[in-house]
Amino acid sequence: MIVTVTMNPALDKTADVDTLVPKALNRLRNVRVDPGGKGVNVSKIIKILGGKSVATGFVGGETGRELRRLVDSIGLVGDFIEVEGITRTNLKVVDQDSSLTELNEPGIKVTQEEINGLLKKIQDLSGPGGLVVLSGSLPREAPEDTYKFLAQSLNRAGARVIIDADGPSFRAGLMAPPFLVKPNRFELLQYFGLGPDTPDEDLWPLAQKLLDMGLSFVIVSLGADGAMFATKEKRALAKTVPVRVRSTVGAGDSMVGAAALAIESGFDFEKTVRLCMASSVGAVTTEGTNPPTLEQIRELEPKFELKYF
Ligand SMILES: Nc1ncnc2c1ncn2[C@@H]1O[C@H](COP(=O)(O)OP(=O)(O)OP(=O)(O)O)[C@@H](O)[C@H]1O
Ligand SMILES: [Mg+2]
Number of Cα atoms under 13 Å in the Cβ half of residue 265: 18
Identify the pLDDT of residue 71.
97
> Rounded CA gap, 192 and 87, in Å?
33
Asked whether the beta carbons of 158 and 31 are under 8 A apart, the reply is no
**Environment class of residue 128 by beta-carbon count within 10 Å: exposed (0-12), middle (13-18) or buried (19+)?**
exposed
**How far is ligand 1, taken at its centre, from the CA of residue 182, in Å?**
11
DSSP string, 210-262: HHHTT-SEEEEE-GGG-EEEEESS-EEEE-------S--TTHHHHHHHHHHHH
More confidently predicted of 288 and 74: 74
For atom 7 of ligand 1, the residue with the nearest CA is: 224
Asked whether the beta carbons of 131 and 106 are under 8 A apart, the reply is no
**Cβ of 222 below 6 Å from ligand 1:** yes
Q: What is the DSSP letter of 74?
A: T
**Cβ of 245 below 6 Å from ligand 1:** yes
Identify the pLDDT of residue 288.
80
Assess whether 253 carries a catalytic annotation: yes
When pLDDT is cut at 50, 70 and 90, the band that residue 162 belongs to is very high
- pLDDT tens, 7-23? 999 999 999 999 999 99
- pLDDT tens, 214-230? 999 999 999 999 999 99
**How far is ligand 1, taken at its centre, from the CA of residue 229, in Å?**
14
> Rounded CA gap, 44 and 87, in Å?
20
Kindly list the domain boundaries of the chain, sorted by start residue.
Answer: 2-6+38-82+107-308
Identify the pLDDT of residue 271.
98
When pLDDT is cut at 50, 70 and 90, the band that residue 170 belongs to is very high
Residues 179, 184, 186, 187: is their CA dihedral positive or negative? Answer: negative
**How far is ligand 2, taken at its centre, from the CA of residue 26, in Å?**
30
> Rounded CA gap, 255 and 277, in Å?
7
pLDDT at residue 100 above 90?
Answer: no
> Rounded CA gap, 91 and 35, in Å?
12
Of the candidates 298, 240, 251, 243, which has an alpha carbon nearest to the alpha carbon of residue 271?
298
pLDDT at residue 289 above 90?
Answer: no
- Which strand (E) or helix (H) includes residue 173? helix 167-174
**Four-way CATH pick for 2-6+38-82+107-308: 3.40.1190.20, 3.40.640.10, 3.30.70.100, 3.20.20.30:** 3.40.1190.20
Name the average pLDDT for the chain: 96
- Ligand located closest to 237 CA: 1
Identify the pLDDT of residue 107.
87
Q: What is the DSSP letter of 165?
A: -
When pLDDT is cut at 50, 70 and 90, the band that residue 44 belongs to is very high
Identify the pLDDT of residue 98.
79
DSSP string, 14-49: EEE-SS--TTS----EEEEEEEESHHHHHHHHHHHT
When pLDDT is cut at 50, 70 and 90, the band that residue 258 belongs to is very high
